[in-house]
Chains A and B, each alone.
Chain A
Amino acid sequence: MLLVRPDDLVAMLGEHRLDVQAVYDADEVTLRVPDMGVLGFGENLDEAIDDLLDELRAYATRFFREPARFMATSRGAHAAALLRFALADEGEQRHMLGVEEPESEAVPVGAK
């Protein structure tokens, strides 16, 4: 058994950014985290983001209720990202979804 302070654990886990994909239909938006098989639903993007956050919280709760069972499957690869997500406050959780444009992808203003 090893005890680690939550803020030390957050530092050890480092930054995690989930790959979140948006699927558009005429009257609905669906967000996917393909690696985890987690989906968020909404009638617009903001609703879908809120729903995805709830779905990820539910998945993290489920995962860490029976970690050995989940770690024995391909879902074991989700452990670090889910733990980081579970330790994050709501603002950090939103940041993990990649709502902000990554610097590596930045489309400069005025560049044509």
Chain B
Amino acid sequence: MKTPTWDEFREFLKHDNWEEDRATGHDFFEKTLPDGEILRTHASRSSSKTMSPGRFKAILSDQLRLNEAEFWEILRTKAPAPRPSPEPEPAPASLPLWLAQAIEREVGLTREQIAEIDEDEARRLLVEARSTPRD
């Protein structure tokens, strides 16, 4: 999955007509849709850093309500996206926060390993770790 830099993300916000919410703090942006719904997002200042795939998917599905292709199309055409999107980005694979923390601390998986497992597998690994006698 091709992911944008934060500079590209800011460029997207400009072309999709998002407005900076200066009262909340720097780098918060809002967009009001024709039906009155309010979208909010927050742009990092790490300008040249490319965001990871999971993070990009979360931003698309939870905040921009667009899919990946629509995001890049806005950067290409420099014109706002029609909304609602006919096919918004599905939410990325995720684990409940408590389970993620337990898997890190009790099972000892790395971030890369946790990224590869689903919730059922995470629960199985946690049960297994808690069933193993400690020395």
Contacts and interface: CB of A to CB of B under 8 A. Distances in A.
Given A39-B42, A44-B111, A72 B36 contact: yes
Contact of A24 (B23, B54, B98, B126): B54
Interface stretch (A1-9, A53-61, A83-91): A53-61
A77 interface: no
Contacts of A61: 24
A22 B36 contact: no
Interface stretch (B9-17, B77-85, B88-96): B88-96
Interface residues of B, number: 45
Nearest to A108: B130
Interface in A41-100: 41, 44-45, 49, 55, 58-59, 61-62, 65, 69-70, 72-75, 97-100
A111 B126 CA distance: 10
B111 A75 contact: no
A27 to B, nearest CB: 7
A109 B128 CA distance: 9
A104 to B, nearest CB: 11
B40 A59 contact: yes
Given A62-B24, A112-B131, A75 B102 contact: no
A28 B52 contact: yes
Interface residues of A, number: 47
B55 A107 contact: no
Contact of B104 (A19, A28, A45, A108): A45
Contacts of A110: 130-131
24 contacts: A20-B97, A23-B57, A23-B94, A25-B53, A25-B54, A26-B112, A28-B51, A30-B55, A32-B58, A32-B62, A32-B91, A37-B39, A39-B42, A39-B62, A39-B63, A41-B55, A59-B40, A62-B23, A69-B38, A98-B96, A98-B98, A105-B98, A107-B102, A112-B128
- Listed from nearest, the 4 A-B pairs whose CB atoms lie closest are A25-B52, A22-B100, A21-B94, A112-B131
Interface of B: 21, 23-25, 28, 36-40, 42, 44, 51-55, 57-59, 62-63, 91-102, 104, 111-112, 114-115, 123, 126-128, 130-131
